[in-house]
Structure 1
């Protein structure tokens, strides 16, 4: 497929200017508060007037927003214009979005990660829409010679009910462009929203369904070369020698270059490059430890007992609480490394020229790619441009820039534009995995079954701080100690969807279930009681909202009929991450002597839901991702080399293994919080706790399918 994805700032200005006589609003994304709008005429735009972002209203009534955030499937190119359209009161069918390139001078937080796009931009986008609406009403008031207070708006029209006169936004755009933008506008009351909170189809659905070239893997530039890289065969190895003679002589191969422990084959087509790479004769030698999974299991035990721990939080007198406890519960939970496995493997386009560098591709952090490129080449970052394509999955892997920098290295060496492509095997064995971690929990109970002491130690392999020391139940236990131990490994790790909490939530919520059952208490009520205690007598700092967590617990319990069903075993879990709260109930039924997962209820509190359809899919996607990886995901190592290299050996969840997922949202009217990641963490524990209820077998390690208690389960 040959096309050229090129949506530059200049092209956007050209697009906006062709409308003629339209209204363009620049609004500030860098201000912590709502934006201040300024009117810009087409001449100023053509001359490069400095603004951070733009809302345009063309003479034909089309509204366009210049959207800065990378689109990775989270639906930001739908949600952003919905917010603007709501305040603008425009016909949704006349709203379009243009992807912005990287521009540090005009945008803030051009990042996809941390579930933060909507929370960051919510007020800014509303301000932009409301400002435009007020200016259009003022223009209409002058034209109709009536007070602006007598006017109203609806679907892109300004209406004067007394005279039954209407003017379209397109008709008014030129007049509005002559006005001074107001600095203070009134935003809608949430109860008056007409578009936000409804189900809206993704604006890119048609292009996605018809196979239009949206993704980085689709990008093509006439005259570009293709490159693939042979990397070391194991973590802890380096190149000793490389015989590239045979590869260089193969059809279509332009060059073979070596850099940073890598050998890159460059040619005229992907297939030619792929075949030539197999002809390389590369010899490696050891430069560090070659770690195996068996080494990690041994290290976990050694470090858990004798490692140098970093104290993360300590409340009360933990030693005394455990010494005087009526009962002590202790458990350990462990998770493996996981690859990210996005459907679209890593790829990037780079053209290093004497006057600057052009980068195009799928990245969650375009500014990182630019800065790393500038650092590598010793040039001003302003000489590096970055255009973002849609991403075919990221899950944190594309937060790094290594694959973009590889493309830059190759382009510099061969002095040509280069499209770097990873194979699936490259993608799975190329590092930046979810860290492997083991957790040890201890709880002290008094004679009445109250938890009076709590300990958590996390031992991680390249995990950094493997705990979240301020999350629940911190603040609800009088005596608490949380610490962590780190092992530095040659195996590279990075953020994986819902970093750390993707497994920590499973471990914490499974352990709390253990404690509740040992104390003879209902697991849901046990958590509610802890939250009530934190509300009445908080211990130390509390960084979660107690009332929001209670509300989401109660909603999940209500919708699932918690404790009222006799034909299924139910398991509960709740977690706070990325400023949002998700509670889940898993339901398991015994069939032919085996537990079978039938359904998962999910209750989410992410504040105002912008796009109901998109939000439901985010929750369902998070649940399926959390379930699939808890059940099947496992990446093991032998002497530094990953043993799973493709989907024939690395297990993902299959469509027939996905249970029914029922989603509910808490309607509390607060500003939106994150949703791309929060539904994943609680899933593993909801399922594992239901399995325990059905079988009396506690799952403590992932993947579940490899544990004795779970072998053979459907």
Structure 2
């Protein structure tokens, strides 16, 4: 990206020529509004009263400006697929452009919560269908026939009786003169041609050929670079610093401090990195410097304590445990985890007298705009945000700390600056997945029925570490879920599938323990609980029983559950998150006396699948992420400082440790639900349950390899 790629130039690139059709559609509310023709020659897209655009040019090219940040979830491909489907356009004639932040024209410009497609589904379909109907009316008018006698296919309007046809580009100017319909008919889902097919990502070629797509690639003529030394431990603050040696280093322009940080500014990343090592800094204690041993003590106090917030209570839990024929108890724990996107944090900022320009990878551009405006005490409309593609985020780029660093530093040095983080900066000063522990108890009657269930969650900066209305809530007559929290100087934040990324493992592993204690099959035990939730529910049911039952049965069928496979142990797990349902079966075999994960079967209900390629990548990526962090990921602290600062000490999953993955989607025809996150939560449980079947050993602590490293020694 160069200086010419400004927001104004972006808008100019979308401007109309003397002819052509441009449609705007509203992103607000539950229903998409009727499209509006933007009249006039060379009308800039930004001048319309609507806030997202579909354009059809005279050459037949259809463009959609994608407002949501692209973080690898494939939204820049999925959005135009939806429009092209309803428009009946040839996919070869479709392109998509990344829109900048514009709070007047767009709603929910966010990459998070697996919500982009669910939010935009109807809006995008109606935009395409509206354009299609206007093109049909324009063709019918030219031919002097009824619009009902015309059809469309691959960018052509066709008169069925005569066989006449006209291309969309030929009709665009005439269509622009037609009043947009207020009501349009959408395709029956059984007639979809593009939606549900396999289409490669629109950025694939650019990525493979090394084009400048990512924030770390961004360059602006005249900008300077900066690296920042932040406190090396959580709980420290800046006391003093001596930058004498750094300031005389080659390429260094200045060294400044702000908010307990020291920023080195220079002409290149390498020069500022070398100079940063020369700055002598003295830190002092501001808060308690916590270590992992402290956290062990804190967790015990929280779990044993009495100051817990009740999240849900059904029935008489005390009596249920008093009268139980058998009680099952277990504790599960998970560590802090860094996000570790392959592209470290970076951002460009230019604070001028007339406004602020921000460019870079952010999952929440509007939040970046608002927080920058607040920081600099200026109106939000004076801050523009251009979005680059992101090399991963997993929730880390929902935060704005790295954006604000760039903005504040630019305001201090009075120059455009790009702030760069190293991997050590990213892992050492990032926002982590909270550390959480859970204490479970289950009460069984003489017939092995679950009559009581209690869950206590304790977290460090985790907020509510439970999801009190998730399964098995509603299926147990007596239930208690409560939680407590310890406030720490260690910063935490959303991590892919927040809370459920670990809670699902704990819950599904414990349910397996209970099924084993009851002498029942793990799959059948869950189905029985779902049947109780359906026929005799206790309290609110906030999950779809039939959808969960369907993925359970599908995963069991695909994996051959219940059919003995020689030397193969199966583990089951199912979870509901982000409005979607995923069931998994893990296959483990023993090699040289060690358990080896060889395959995962995944049954996924996310409603209509827009793009098979993107959807499968999301599911497989979530599963691999789930396996890797359950097996290997761990972040520990010593006196407030992370002990793992790079990949030489933080273990990631390796290519040869990735099993075969078989994904099957449920074809139930409902509108799309979330997909970027739901496949991760059930993974840890399916793997742990399979390993138990193979070895007889329960894995209750993540990472598994540190619970019993001898069990997982290499067998290659």
Judge same fold: TM > 0.5, yes or no.
yes
Deviation track 1:17-43 (CA, whole Å, cap 9, x = no partner) reads: 355411000100112212321111243
Kept in 1, the 8 Å contact 2:237–2:260? The answer is yes
Distance in 2, Cα, partners of 1:654 & 1:19:
52
Deviation, 1:50, is 2.4
Deviation track 1:541-592 (CA, whole Å, cap 9, x = no partner) reads: 1111000000000000000001212330000000000000000000001111
Deviation track 1:106-158 (CA, whole Å, cap 9, x = no partner) reads: 00000000000000000000000000000000000100110000000000000
Kept in 2, the 8 Å contact 1:112–1:364? The answer is yes
Distance in 1, Cα, partners of 2:110 & 2:584:
29
| Secondary structure, counterpart of 1:489 in structure 2 | coil
Distance in 2, Cα, partners of 1:366 & 1:277:
29
1:50 — aligned with what? 49
1:381 — aligned with what? 380
Q: TM-score, normalised by structure 2?
A: 0.98
2:188 — aligned with what? 189
Deviation, 1:4, is 1.6
Deviation, 1:306, is 1.2
Identify if the C-alpha distance between structure 1 residues 5 and 451 changes in structure 2 by more than 3 Å, giving closer, same or farther: farther
1:644 — aligned with what? 644
Q: TM-score, normalised by structure 1?
A: 0.99
2:37 — aligned with what? 39
Distance in 1, Cα, partners of 2:276 & 2:23:
51
1:456 — aligned with what? 455
Q: Which moved more, 1:695-704 or 1:33-42?
A: 33-42
Question: Does structure 1 residue 568 correspond to structure 2 residue 568?
Answer: yes
1:105 — aligned with what? 104
Distance in 2, Cα, partners of 1:618 & 1:130:
28
Match for 2:21 among 10, 20, 23?
23
Deviation track 1:483-504 (CA, whole Å, cap 9, x = no partner) reads: 1110000000000000000000
Distance in 1, Cα, partners of 2:281 & 2:12:
50
Kept in 2, the 8 Å contact 1:595–1:713? The answer is no
Distance in 2, Cα, partners of 1:238 & 1:711:
41
Question: Does structure 1 residue 547 correspond to structure 2 residue 517?
Answer: no
Distance in 2, Cα, partners of 1:42 & 1:304:
67
Kept in 1, the 8 Å contact 2:68–2:110? The answer is yes
Identify if the C-alpha distance between structure 1 residues 203 and 327 changes in structure 2 by more than 3 Å, giving closer, same or farther: same
| Secondary structure, counterpart of 2:47 in structure 1 | coil
1:712 — aligned with what? 713
2:9 — aligned with what? 11
User: Matches of residues 243-642 of structure 1 in structure 2 within 5 Å?
Assistant: 243-564=242-563, 565-642=565-642
Distance in 2, Cα, partners of 1:11 & 1:543:
47
Kept in 2, the 8 Å contact 1:13–1:45? The answer is no
Distance in 2, Cα, partners of 1:599 & 1:48:
53
Distance in 2, Cα, partners of 1:73 & 1:625:
14
Structure 1: give runs of 5+ residues left out of the alignment: none
Deviation track 1:606-632 (CA, whole Å, cap 9, x = no partner) reads: 000000111011000000000000000
Q: Which moved more, 1:9-18 or 1:339-348?
A: 9-18
Kept in 2, the 8 Å contact 1:247–1:280? The answer is yes
Distance in 2, Cα, partners of 1:19 & 1:145:
28
Kept in 2, the 8 Å contact 1:7–1:101? The answer is no
Kept in 1, the 8 Å contact 2:16–2:22? The answer is no
| Secondary structure, counterpart of 1:265 in structure 2 | strand
| Secondary structure, counterpart of 1:85 in structure 2 | helix
Distance in 1, Cα, partners of 2:200 & 2:432:
33
Deviation track 1:315-358 (CA, whole Å, cap 9, x = no partner) reads: 01111111111111000000000000000000000000001000
Deviation track 1:34-77 (CA, whole Å, cap 9, x = no partner) reads: 23211112437338232211100000000000110000000000
Deviation track 1:435-460 (CA, whole Å, cap 9, x = no partner) reads: 00000010000010000000000000
Distance in 1, Cα, partners of 2:11 & 2:219:
23
Kept in 2, the 8 Å contact 1:607–1:673? The answer is yes
Deviation, 1:386, is 0.3
Question: Does structure 1 residue 661 correspond to structure 2 residue 685?
Answer: no
2:680 — aligned with what? 680
User: Matches of residues 180-219 of structure 1 in structure 2 within 5 Å?
Assistant: 180-219=179-218
Distance in 2, Cα, partners of 1:606 & 1:5:
41
1:117 — aligned with what? 116
Kept in 2, the 8 Å contact 1:307–1:485? The answer is no
| Secondary structure, counterpart of 2:677 in structure 1 | coil
Distance in 2, Cα, partners of 1:455 & 1:33:
41
Distance in 2, Cα, partners of 1:12 & 1:290:
48
Distance in 1, Cα, partners of 2:285 & 2:571:
47
Distance in 1, Cα, partners of 2:335 & 2:40:
56
Kept in 1, the 8 Å contact 2:15–2:42? The answer is no
Deviation track 1:258-290 (CA, whole Å, cap 9, x = no partner) reads: 000000000010011000000000001111100
Distance in 1, Cα, partners of 2:306 & 2:94:
57
Deviation, 1:673, is 0.1
Distance in 2, Cα, partners of 1:466 & 1:599:
30
Distance in 2, Cα, partners of 1:340 & 1:670:
32
Kept in 2, the 8 Å contact 1:19–1:60? The answer is no
Deviation track 1:657-713 (CA, whole Å, cap 9, x = no partner) reads: 100000000000000000000000000010000000000000000000111273426
Distance in 2, Cα, partners of 1:366 & 1:8:
16
Distance in 2, Cα, partners of 1:374 & 1:219:
22
Identify if the C-alpha distance between structure 1 residues 713 and 331 changes in structure 2 by more than 3 Å, giving closer, same or farther: farther
Distance in 1, Cα, partners of 2:538 & 2:170:
61
Kept in 2, the 8 Å contact 1:328–1:443? The answer is yes
Deviation track 1:367-395 (CA, whole Å, cap 9, x = no partner) reads: 11111100011000000000000000000
Deviation, 1:302, is 1.2
Distance in 2, Cα, partners of 1:8 & 1:473:
52
Kept in 2, the 8 Å contact 1:352–1:416? The answer is yes
1:78 — aligned with what? 77
Kept in 2, the 8 Å contact 1:141–1:148? The answer is yes
Deviation track 1:638-675 (CA, whole Å, cap 9, x = no partner) reads: 00000001000000001011000000000000000000
Deviation, 1:431, is 2.5
Structure 2: give runs of 5+ residues left out of the alignment: none
Question: Does structure 1 residue 129 correspond to structure 2 residue 128?
Answer: yes
Kept in 1, the 8 Å contact 2:692–2:699? The answer is yes
Distance in 2, Cα, partners of 1:409 & 1:265:
14
1:65 — aligned with what? 64
Deviation, 1:12, is 4.2
Kept in 1, the 8 Å contact 2:434–2:460? The answer is yes
